[in-house]
Amino acid sequence: MPREYSRTLRVGEQIHRELAELIRTELKDPGIGMVTLGDVEVSKDLAYARVYYTVLGEGEAVQTTGAALRRAAGFLRRELGRRMRLRIVPELRFVYDDSQARGDRLDALIAEAVREDRERHSDED
């Protein structure tokens, strides 16, 4: 039996598409850096949407982009309401997705361990 394609998934995908377009074309806040939207998780009652994002850069870029997205949340929600035909437009909650940075850090640690292991074994020969 095929898996059900729930309404919350469809709404989340539509919100993702619309938000990406809105952020790219409508937001003029200089605090928003090179932002990429990841997953959008919508609650069952469509009251909240958790929007995961990543930013090119670290530290201050992440903080300023997060603050700018939170400031723009009302505007973005209003524009989503205009573009989408929903009775309830979810409240947007932006969450920084650090999985890419953690993955990069783990890759670097693994590469360093492999390099050290090779050096140790080459010294033994």
- pLDDT tens per residue, range 65-118: 999 999 999 999 999 999 998 888 999 999 998 887 778 888 888 988 888 888
* Residue range 40-74, pLDDT digits in tens: 999 999 899 999 999 887 778 888 999 999 999 99
- Residues 68 and 31 sit within 8 Å (Cβ to Cβ): yes
**More confident of the two residues 57 and 39:** 39
For the chain, what are the domain ranges? 7-97
**Angle CA 24–90–79, to nearest 5:** 40
pLDDT of residue 124: 66
Helix (H, G, I), strand (E, B) or coil at 87: coil
pTM higher than 0.85, yes or no? Answer: no
**More confident of the two residues 9 and 33:** 9
* Overall fold of domain 7-97: GMP Synthetase; Chain A, domain 3 (3.30.300)
